[in-house]
């Protein structure tokens, strides 16, 4: 097994291949059980809640995790198909000692992953991840074999939480189109209609293989057409495990995470709910976001990519809003991105202010180009002469364009992400393509 299993957001891979074989998954579950027993002061029979998205491979992984946990004395509550944020919430709400979500989020259906939570619903930090890896394959002491039981009220408990957390907004007849990405939100998305919206849900018929396929937060093209055709007030797009939110305004334009977070920040500021007058974002957030909030006297704190790092900064400083350009948005005391809660908050804002989404989420972003290059191996970039030279040339040019570069490997996929931002889109596109071409030659 790979000595470094954890990426930016848990463990990911191809089901049936290392590390996602049944045997390895059982061992990983055992390592997590050892961590939980340590955190629960040696408790021999801790409890874990276990949720999943709609991928066909989730059944095999769920079975392997449950077997690995019960074998070392852990009691498991099976939640069924639910968003990642629901698992995080229910871990804490049900007073479980830990939580696990089976999902590869926005990745294709032939990939899958495992996300882990502590008793507070927080994702594991790097020390905790290292502890799990160190204890994989070690048999933890048990007083009895654990049990695995279905928790039938999981969805109802999460929907109740969503309604309460969003203030039970009255979305009376607000016309919206929701793209559930054939993923974990395909049933939970019904809460918008429950709260009074005239909501139509598309891509809500998962078959195990169509999750994220040409739909959802990464592919909003269909949603854009549907919004315009229906003359809806907005469109809402989730990804496979619903921890991301991308929206479409009434004009058919896409509002990414930056624009949505900006709208929420302004609303929270007006209600004196923006703690510390600070918003936490990552390196990818467009610098136009900072400029807009600076006008309002709001500060921007930047952290490295990953919503768990956004959460860590929010918790450390007591901030109430943070997120990523990709659509992970954390509000209040939540411990992870929750696309449904964020969408409810925006829909409520639209009804309360009477303003269209195009006005609320207006953000004239600086030109930004992102190119993803699939790679066979993640080599240190400084050891690649062609790629290093292309990056150096781009950085020199961007000094004149008042821009910046952000070039890093994905923590969840075999991919090099090349992001350039500057005042001239044509020029930064050319520079990004030159870096990409060099990377393709040296990494494939």
Task: For the sheet with 278-282, list strands across it.
Answer: 299-303, 278-282, 321-323, 329-331
Give 295: exposed, middle or buried? Use CB within 10 Å, 0-12, 13-18, 19+.
Answer: exposed
pLDDT computed for residue 277 by the predictor: 98
What pLDDT, on the 0 to 100 scale, is given for residue 413?
Answer: 81
Same domain, 271 and 353: yes
- Are 140 and 166 in the same domain? no
Q: Indicate if 105 belongs to the active site.
A: yes
Mean pLDDT, residues 361-365: 96
Q: Looking at residue 137, what is its pLDDT? A: 83
What is the rounded average pLDDT of the residues 286-306?
96
Position 127 in a domain: yes
pLDDT at 139 over 80: no
The predicted-structure confidence for 264-276, as pLDDT tens digits, reads as follows 999 999 999 999 9
* Shared-domain flag, residues 19 and 122: yes
- Specify the pLDDT at position 358: 98
Instruction: List CB contacts of 134: < 8 A, sequence separation 6 or more.
Output: 31
Q: Clarify whether residues 221 and 286 are in a common domain.
A: yes
Q: Give 2-55 pLDDT, tens digit per residue.
A: 457 998 899 999 999 999 999 999 999 999 999 999 999 988 899 999 999 999
Looking at residue 400, which CATH number applies to its domain?
3.30.310.50
Statement: residue 262 has pLDDT above 90: yes
Regarding whether 386 and 346 lie in a shared domain, the answer is: no
The answer as to whether 5 is a domain residue is no
Q: What is the pTM of this model?
A: 0.92
Q: What is the mean pLDDT of residues 324-329?
A: 97
Strand ranges, E, within 111-212 = 112-118, 148-150, 175-179, 198-202
Residue 146: closest CA among 74, 93, 55: 74
Work out the percent of the chain whose per-residue pLDDT is above 90: 93
Residues 119 and 207 in one domain: no
CATH number of the domain within which 314 lies: 3.40.120.10
Instruction: Measure the CA–CA gap between 192 and 127, rounded to whole angstroms.
Output: 39
Supply the range of the domain harboring residue 284: 157-360
Strand locations in 338-393 (E)? 368-374
Q: Active site residue: 47, 92, 103, 105, which one?
A: 105
- Tell me what pLDDT residue 1 has: 43
Q: How far apart are CA 84 and CA 82, in angstroms?
A: 7
Q: Is position 4 within any domain?
A: no
**Same domain? 374 vs 435:** yes
pLDDT of 412 strictly over 80: no
The percent of the chain in helix, strand and coil, each rounded to the nearest 5, is 40, 20, 40
Is 264 in contact with 342 (CB distance < 8 Å)? yes
Q: Which of 360, 386, 403 is the last residue of a domain?
A: 360
Claim to verify: residue 214 and residue 90 sit in the same structural domain: no
Enumerate the H helices of 112-167 as residue ranges: 126-134, 154-165
Over range 91-106, report the average pLDDT: 98
Residue matched to tokens 């009255």: 170
Cα separation, 223 vs 234, in Å, equals 9
Residue whose tokens read 């502590």: 118
Torsions phi, psi for 359 (to 5 deg)? -85, -45
174-199 tens-digit pLDDT: 999 999 999 999 999 999 999 999 99
Residue 103 domain flag: yes
> Is 333 a domain residue?
yes
**For 136-165, what is the mean pLDDT?**
92
* Better-scored residue on pLDDT, 140 or 210: 210
User: What are the φ and ψ backbone dihedral angles of 348, each rounded to 5 degrees?
Assistant: -65, -40
Whole-angstrom distance, CA of residue 305 vs CA of residue 428? 22
User: 202 and 349 share a domain?
Assistant: yes
- Reported as type and span, the H/E element at residue 419 is strand 415-421
Q: Same domain for 248 and 272?
A: yes
pLDDT of residue 2: 45
Q: How many domains does one find in the chain?
A: 3
Mean pLDDT of 367-385: 94
Listed residues 324, 342, 360: the one ending a domain: 360
Distances (CA, A) of 436 to 312, 374, 409: 32, 10, 12
Within this chain, do residues 306 and 234 fall inside the same structural domain, yes or no? yes
Is the residue at 300 inside a domain? yes
Q: Which residue has the tokens 């049900």?
A: 94
64 falls within a domain: yes
Q: Which two tokens stand for residue 195?
A: 């709260």
Do 128 and 17 sit in the same domain of this protein? yes
Buried b (16+ CB within 10 A) or exposed e, 317-327: eebbbbbbbbb
Lowest-pLDDT range of 35-49, 113-127, 133-147:
133-147
Domain boundary among 319, 337, 360: 360
Q: Report residue 77: phi and psi, to 5°.
A: -105, 115
**Is 6 inside a domain boundary?**
no
Question: Rounded CA gap, 329 and 321, in Å?
Answer: 8
């Amino acid at each position: 097994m790979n000595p470094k299993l954890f990426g930016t957001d848990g463990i990911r891979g191809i089901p049936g291949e290392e590390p996602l074989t049944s045997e390895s998954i059982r061992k990983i579950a055992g390592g997590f059980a050892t961590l939980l027993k340590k955190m629960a002061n040696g408790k021999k029979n801790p409890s874990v809640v276990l949720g999943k998205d709609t991928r066909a491979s989730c059944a095999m992984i769920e079975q392997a995790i449950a077997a690995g946990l019960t074998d070392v004395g852990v009691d498991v509550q099976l939640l069924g198909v639910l968003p990642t944020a629901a698992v995080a919430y229910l871990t804490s709400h049900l007073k479980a000692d830990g939580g696990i979500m089976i999902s590869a989020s926005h990745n294709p259906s032939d990939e899958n992953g495992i996300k882990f939570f502590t008793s507070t619903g927080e994702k594991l930090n790097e020390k905790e991840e290292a502890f799990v890896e160190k204890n994989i394959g070690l048999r933890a002491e048990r007083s009895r074999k654990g049990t695995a039981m279905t928790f039938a009220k999981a969805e109802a408990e999460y929907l109740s939480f969503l309604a309460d957390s969003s203030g039970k907004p009255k979305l009376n007849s607000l016309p919206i189109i929701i793209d559930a990405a054939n993923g974990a939100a395909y049933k939970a998305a019904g809460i918008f209609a429950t709260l009074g919206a005239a909501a139509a849900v598309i891509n809500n018929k998962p078959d195990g293989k169509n999750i994220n396929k040409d739909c959802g937060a990464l592919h909003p093209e269909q949603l854009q057409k549907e919004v315009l055709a229906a003359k809806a007030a907005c469109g809402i797009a989730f990804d496979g495990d619903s921890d991301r939110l991308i929206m479409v305004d009434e004009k058919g334009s896409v509002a990414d995470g930056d624009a949505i977070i900006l709208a929420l920040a302004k609303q929270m500021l007006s209600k004196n709910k923006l703690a510390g007058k600070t918003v936490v974002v990552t390196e990818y957030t467009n610098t136009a976001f900072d400029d807009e909030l600076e006008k309002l006297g709001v500060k921007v704190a930047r952290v490295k990519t990953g919503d768990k790092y956004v959460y860590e900064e929010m918790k450390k400083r007591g901030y109430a809003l943070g997120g990523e350009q990709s659509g992970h948005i954390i509000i209040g005391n939540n411990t992870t991105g929750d696309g449904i809660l964020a969408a409810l908050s925006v829909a409520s804002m639209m009804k309360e202010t009477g303003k269209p989404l195009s006005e609320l989420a207006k953000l004239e972003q600086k030109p930004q180009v992102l190119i993803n290059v699939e790679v066979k191996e993640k080599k240190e970039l400084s050891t690649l002469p062609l790629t290093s030279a292309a990056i150096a040339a781009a950085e020199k040019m961007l000094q004149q364009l008042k821009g910046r570069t952000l070039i890093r490997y994905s923590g969840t996929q075999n991919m090099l992400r090349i992001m350039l931002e500057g005042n001239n889109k044509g020029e930064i596109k050319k520079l990004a393509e030159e870096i990409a071409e060099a990377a393709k030659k040296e990494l494939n």
